[in-house]
Chain A
Amino acid sequence: MIVKDYFLPESLDEAVTLLAERGPDLLVMAGGTIAMMRMNEGHLLPDQVMGLRRVGLDAITINGKLSIGATTTLSTLANNESVPMLSQAARSAASWSLRNMATVGGNLFARNPYGDVATALLALNADLRVINRNGERVLPLADFFAANRQLEPGELLADILVPPPTGQTVYHKFGRRAYNTPAVVTIAAHITRDGDSVTAASIALNGVAATPVRAIPAEKMLVGQPLNGETITAAAQAAAETVDPPSDAVASGWYRQRMVRVILERVLTQIMEQEQ
């Protein structure tokens, strides 16, 4: 690995300035669990790298919305119980030592079927605060994924903003091992009910496409309906029918498609059985 320059800016200002000056050739790296691995392997050979460990984006604050600094480690999020689905998602990722390095921001860039926290964030309708030398903008996470994770040149991801959940949440990472496992499929669901009837449904699936995606047809089928065996089966079936998952070393597309149905059925059943 031959890198000409490695920068460790001490502030966000310094980081966006460096990025503006150096342009897209400057590789941005947070926890490095994706970037360093690819460099060690020789799949990524940048001339210049910028590490974000010292820019001070590693805090979680609550101010109406939950704001998670982009370089917050998965361990820090796992130990923060303010949104249980998020701490659970963080705990489900990789191993202890890796979670001590990997960041929440970096998790949004993880290739399928990784991106456990990203999946939970998508179900929670998170927004991204993105910053460049001249200012900032807020971008829905769903749009970021729809645009294949492209930020504008010169932009850094600063924080992730999470509105407080209004309903019930269930997160289920289905992998081949109990711990430290890549996912077959991951499902995060956020369902709001009024009495018997579902008033809002947000279901995120991972392992089924290049990025985490929402199960829109299933969500639409549930809104206005009660949660029962019938509606759950129909929604799970609809979710499975609308995905065409890829095959990789963990599972085939054939198997993943079936598991979307089975696991979503289990997730929704769990929500049905929970107290509201």
Chain B
Amino acid sequence: MASKVVSFTLNGRETEVMVKPLTTLQVVLREQLGHTATKTGCRQGGCGSCTVLLNGEPVLSCLLPAEDVAGQQVTTLEGLTPIDGLHPVQRAFFDHYAVQCGYCSPGMILTTKALLDRNPTPSREEIVEAISGNICRCTGYTAIIEAVEAAAQALKGGQNGR
């Protein structure tokens, strides 16, 4: 059971971890690197709380072996958050009460970021389709959809996120 060294870029920084065979990226992020914004909801691919961006695309870290991301770019919510405040998407979620228990929020915010990077002016339907893999048990989604719309406006207005 040979452990292996895996190098990848995490939130812009070169990162190296030693992993046992088939350890998931979720476990590496949370338990080895202390990046606990990435949540562990179901480990079945069904909740979206473990969403991270892999080369800018949303993926589920609970189903992704860490070795598979060697040499690639991983972004978590920690990487989105500027040192001195909030990313415009986070700000919009905050302002619109789109967070209750917060368990879905990291995944929702990263999915939103990926959506707005591709489509800066999504329709309501496009927003709904994009977030349909991120389950929210608390908010009833309305506030989240409004927050995504507001984030799109804010980013258009020049408050650039990374």
Query: A77 to nearest B CB, angstroms?
Result: 15
Known contacts A4-B1, A36-B24, A40-B44; A180 and B63 CB within 8 A of each other? no
List of A residues within 8 angstroms of B154 by Cβ: none
Query: B64 to nearest A CB, angstroms?
Result: 7
Which of B75-83, B92-100, B127-135 touches A?
A: B127-135
Give the number of residue pairs across the A-B interface with Cβ within 8 Å: 87
**Does any Cβ of A come within 8 Å of B21's Cβ?**
yes
Would A179 and B58 count as touching, CB distance under 8 A? no
Would A96 and B24 count as touching, CB distance under 8 A? no
List of B residues within 8 angstroms of A3 by Cβ: 1, 20-22
List of B residues within 8 angstroms of A4 by Cβ: 1, 21
Number of interface residues of A (CB under 8 A): 30
Interface SS majority for chain B: mixed
Shortest Cβ-Cβ A-B pairs, 6 listed: A95-B133, A179-B132, A6-B21, A97-B58, A40-B43, A36-B63
Q: Known pairs A95-B133, A95-B134. 18 more at Cβ < 8 A?
A: A5-B2, A5-B21, A6-B65, A6-B67, A32-B65, A33-B63, A36-B24, A36-B63, A39-B22, A40-B43, A40-B63, A41-B44, A51-B65, A51-B68, A95-B48, A100-B54, A178-B132, A180-B132
Residues of chain A having any CB pair with chain B under 8 Å: 1-6, 8, 31-33, 36-37, 39-41, 49, 51, 53, 75, 94-98, 100-101, 177-180
Q: Can you report 25 A-B residue pairs in the complex whose CB atoms are below 8 A from each other?
A: A2-B1, A5-B1, A5-B2, A6-B65, A6-B67, A32-B64, A32-B65, A33-B63, A36-B62, A36-B65, A37-B44, A37-B45, A37-B63, A39-B22, A51-B65, A95-B133, A96-B130, A97-B58, A97-B59, A97-B111, A98-B60, A100-B54, A100-B58, A101-B63, A178-B132
